[in-house]
Amino acid sequence: MDTTQTLSPTRQRQRRAQWRRQALTLALLAVGLVAPFVAYPVFLMKVLCFALFACAFNLLLGYAGLLSFGHAAFLATGGYVTGYLLASYPGLTPELGILTGTAAAVALGALFGVLSIRRQGIYFAMVTLALAQLMFFVFVQSPFTGGEDGLHGVPRGELFGLISLNSNLAMYYFVFAVFLIGFAIIQRAVHSPFGQVLKAIRENEPRAVSLGYNVDAYKLLAFVLSAGLAGLAGSTKTLVFQLASLTDAHWHMSGEVILMTLLGGVGTLFGPLVGAGLVVSLQHLLAQSPLGNWVSVILGLIFVVCVLSFRSGIVGEILKSYRKNFK
Amino acid sequence: MTMIFGVPLAVFMGQLLLGLINGAFYALLSLGLAVIFGLLKIVNFAHGAQYMLGAFVALLGSRYLGLDYWLALLLVPLVVGGFGMLIERLLLRRIAHLDHLYGLLLTFGLALIFEGALINLFGVSGASYPIPEALQGGVNLGFMFLPIYRGWVLVAALAVCLFTWFMIERTRLGAYLRAGTENPALMQAFGVNVPLLITLTYGFGVALAAFAGVLAAPLYPVSPTMGSSLLIVVFAVVVIGGMGSILGAVLTGLAMGLIEGLTKVYYPEAANTVIFLVMILVLLLRPAGLFGKEA
């Protein structure tokens, strides 16, 4: 196996990066498999759902450079559709419920994507925020969401009609599998030619246009993909907690996912995972402490600190120092 | 009784007036956003929180210091505007050289802090601020009953909008501001203190929000969350009108308030959402906004 010697230095570096990624993914897989025996499975499932949500968001911000301030709408759409279907049709299996919820988020993503990519930069953020607020009011007023009360007692059911998800351990492994599928889709998309074009658009949109790329089509596809995965996260979360509520549709949620991504590292594969883990843990810890009511203030402070002096995020900083020391 | 499309005239006019007043707030807030955006190129997500702070400072001032409404109308914008200048000087300036999305994120964090802190200190339910004595009561206009305070809000908001337009379009300081919007580097080369201009501009935008907050205090319950939901609607208004022109921002704000009022009369279920629907329509038909000149 002397192939490495015939490869160019660039190609060699790419190879090494690929190996590193694979090693990290394997380590992650191992940690994920033993985790429920070490930590509380419901907490882990929450982390995984939000990690998938943040990864989906990061696909849009980190790779296409589009800051969406309305991702809560997709999370909530997935959750509500799945919750409503599973609660109303007892014969429906959970995987079908999740798929339908995801499909609904994809459809909504296509609609919002077409509208919001008509404006750029700061306006894009405002349009997505306004559209998500529109959905919030729709959810408040529609009969099927249960309004202010939300949906409760959504049955977890039996996966493929065979495996009962009522035990938290079984549920955990299902959520872990869903997360891995979503993560794999994102990783594949980012390292494909499609992902390269997205990065080119992020770096210099007019140039990408002049190179002949149909920039709007790429942006729309990225938007729909991100919305769909956010919907998948929402659907799965509804199944875990057996409820869907307006909290998921509120603009605070859109802000939280931005914070997770920013804290972990925008544009890094593992950053959103780290960020989601930290933010969820923090909320969990604060909820039990006397500071419980100050969560939103503390999140706001982290936001400010991140923007002022920690813009690469945790994973981004680690990558930076690694590159400095080992290259 | 005169009817308009099956609605009594008095009810119709009453809702129209309510809509117009909401529109005046949209106009004041989107004007402040536009002024800040013009020079700093950031969208001030803390604008809603600063509006809320305006109302709160007025409320606390009257409760603990006996600050009267008229003095509050003058002092509160100065205090909150000064606080805004501090924010610009200490925080926003450090990230001015970066992508302007960071400004949005930073001010979003600030909004979370202000809102969260006040919720902890005062709860979400909200308090009421009395209408000043001179503006209590109402007049019967024949076709409708006009509460004097509401009439005053409309007049005051429009006067401030007009004043802002005059300041920016007709004074020397305004000329600097417009030139700074076009080309800050050249302005600096001509010896104008651009950083100071930026600080003052941000302070002025924040003061506008605080002024709107004081005006709103006797009308709506003063609560920590009063700003955030309003701000999202104002964002939609800004997308509809574009942030390029002052007159555009004011007209769009008023028009959206009127449309909202009319919807309340004929199809109340959609009153919350109609502005967002208008935004969708504008995005489809005129993506740059009604008064926008985006490439």
pTM: 0.90
Residues from chain B contacting residue A306 (CB–CB below 8 Å)? 105, 109
Chain B residue with CA closest to A295: the answer is: B116
A306 occurs within a structural domain: no
Rounded average pLDDT over B75-101: 92
Number of domains chain A contains: 1
Comparison of pLDDT for A1 and A249, the residue scoring more: A249
Q: B145 φ, ψ to 5°? A: -100, 125
Is residue B257 within 8 A of residue B26, CB to CB? The reply is: yes
Least confident of A28-37, A154-163, B182-191, B273-282: A154-163
Residues from chain B contacting residue A119 (CB–CB below 8 Å)? 239, 283, 287, 294
A190 occurs within a structural domain: yes
Chain A residue with CA closest to B114: the answer is: A297
Residues from chain A contacting residue B96 (CB–CB below 8 Å)? none
Q: pLDDT tens digit string along B8-24?
A: 887 888 888 889 999 99
Task: Give the integer Cα–Cα distance in Å for B162 and A272.
Answer: 47
Is residue A312 within 8 A of residue A265, CB to CB? The reply is: yes
A242 occurs within a structural domain: yes
Q: pLDDT tens digit string along A111-153?
A: 999 999 988 888 888 889 999 999 999 999 888 888 778 888 8
Rounded average pLDDT over A218-222: 95
Closest partner CB to A123 (pick from B105, B120, B239): B239
Place of tokens 């003061």: B207
pLDDT at residue A14, rounded to an integer: 79
**Residue A107 scores a pLDDT above 90:** yes
In which domain, by residue range, is A180 found? 40-250
Closest partner CB to B102 (pick from A119, A299, A307): A307
Give the A:B interface size as CB pairs under 8 Å. Answer: 119
A16 occurs within a structural domain: no
Closest partner CB to B101 (pick from A116, A125, A137): A125
**Residue A327 scores a pLDDT above 60:** no
Place of tokens 């009604």: B290
A262 occurs within a structural domain: no
Closest partner CB to B276 (pick from A134, A294, A301): A134
pLDDT at residue B7, rounded to an integer: 77
CA distances from B146 to A178, B3, B129, B219 (A): 60, 19, 20, 14
Task: Give the integer Cα–Cα distance in Å for B228 and B222.
Answer: 13
Q: Name the average pLDDT for chain A.
A: 89
Chain B residue with CA closest to A120: the answer is: B294
Rounded average pLDDT over B169-192: 88
- Minimal Cα–Cα distance from B62 to chain A, Å? 26
Task: Give the integer Cα–Cα distance in Å for B166 and A120.
Answer: 30
| Burial zone of B195 (CB within 10 Å; 0-12 exposed, 13-18 middle, 19+ buried) | middle
Q: pLDDT tens digit string along A145-198?
A: 887 788 888 888 777 877 777 888 889 999 999 999 999 999 999 999 999 999
**Does the interface ipTM go beyond 0.95?**
no
Interface of B with A (CB under 8 A): 37, 42-43, 91, 94-95, 98, 100-102, 104-106, 108-113, 115-117, 119-120, 228-229, 232-233, 235-236, 238-239, 269, 272-273, 276-277, 279-280, 283-284, 287, 294
Note whether A300 contacts B104, CB cutoff 8 Å: no
Closest partner CB to A300 (pick from B37, B116, B238): B116
Note whether B43 contacts A125, CB cutoff 8 Å: yes
**Residue A230 scores a pLDDT above 80:** yes
Quick one: fold of B17-285?
ABC transporter involved in vitamin B12 uptake, BtuC (1.10.3470)
Note whether A67 contacts B112, CB cutoff 8 Å: no
Under the banding of pLDDT at 50, 70 and 90, the label for residue A5 is low
Number of residues written out for chain A: 327
Chain B residue with CA closest to A250: the answer is: B229
Q: pLDDT tens digit string along B107-134?
A: 999 999 999 999 998 888 888 888 888 8
Closest partner CB to A308 (pick from B95, B228, B238): B95
- Minimal Cα–Cα distance from B215 to chain A, Å? 25
